[in-house]
Chains A and B, each alone.
Chain A
Amino acid sequence: MKKMKKVVCFGLISAMMLSAFAGCGKKSDSGAIRIGGTGPLTGGAAVYGMAAKRGAEIAVEEINALGGMQFELRYEDDTHDAEKAVNAYNILKDWNVQISLGSVTSQPCVATAAETYADRIFALTPSASATDVTKGKDNMFQMCFSDPNQGSASAQYISEKKLGTKVAIIYKNDDVYSTGIFETFMDKADELGINVVSKTTFNTDSQNDFSVQLGEAQKAGADLVFLPMYYEAAALILDQAKKMNYAPKFFGVDGMDGILTLEGFDTSLAEGVMLLTPFSADATDEKTVNFVKKYNEKFGETPNQFAADAYDCVYAIYEACQKGKVTSDMTAEEVCDIMIEQFTTLKFDGLTGAGMTWGKNGEVTKSPKGMVIENGVYVGLD
């Protein structure tokens, strides 16, 4: 028995040594540039992680089919948990990842961004929108809008298009996404002279009943209600507003995307709802139609914004790699310097916007598309 134990121990130790050495100093031998990212592939947030992974897969497939520069993609599961994200990132590092796609969701991405910064690996996250993700890191870039930018862009849009004279806001006060947008919206609204007549809030625990919030907006005579929140709560608000015979314009942000595919939702409730979103699966331009078709064929569902963001990430990296003449035998650090240089001068057209540029702080500048829901589909406002 004792002997047996020794044998097992030795076996385990040698296995460990082997796996530890396996990762060392080896460059990609397949001639492909290695791209890796982490995201929630299982658990409650899996819908976002899977979408990003699938979007990126389609882009890599397309690029590899062109011949020329080749990519190899690997996604690891972080279950929307910061600690697991770092473990997942370490797996990618052992695999000699050359360019990172960061993490799909904000909290894990803050953790992996610190790692990629320390290891000098260039990272471009498809969808982690918190400002902490990019703050103080020169090699961390975002494909999506940062939260504050959505708030000010919404205020700008409402003011420019004169969508409402009296504006009410309902936001969720225990959610950084919602409060972040709310705060910057208010700042911008002050600046532009938007008349905000009612500000009310709710939290996860009181997410059922909106009679008071809507009642206050109605009493104040608001003709536009701004809803910086995810579609779950928004669906309830639309339902209750209808029951109260209150019909202002409703204006949402990208969290509203998904409301039409909510199972059992009466889409007539969302008629006329406006939202700023960078991507719409119903758009009719060739790129989007092509992407939606491929995604549908491959995975049997309509892609959401996360899939489009990840798809754009891979193409933006592809463009930058070509311009910077990145090859698969470069080290991650060499690639990182080239990518930073390229990205700060890049002008990129993708599914989620045309003429995107990036600042030195890693935040993207693109113009959001105003959408309005008509007959159960998104239609461009402009």
Chain B
Amino acid sequence: MNNTFDEKILDEAQQWIEQNKKVILATVIQTWGSSPRPIGSLMIVNNSGDFSGSVSGGCVEGEVVRQCLDLLNDKNDFKKIDFKVSNESAWNVGLACGGEIAIFLEKLKK
């Protein structure tokens, strides 16, 4: 038996849309090594820069928000982004824990 926690992320996305926000859904689609959140983890970002959910343990969320805001202003509706272990400064964007993740970003729209 495999239990998940009850994700309210999609419900929240819908509430944002009802408030006329533009919303991007980010999904962890691949992981290698000791990535902090499993495949299938969700996060949403809106055009005000608010975000909910998580795709890592806090390591890359800031960068994901930035990429989502870029995508909102782009003619493309989706994008795949990858993060690898950060081997320079710990302040660089990357997974301090040594994992690698791929995230799929997509617009939620009509």
Task: Tell me if chain B binds chain A.
Answer: no
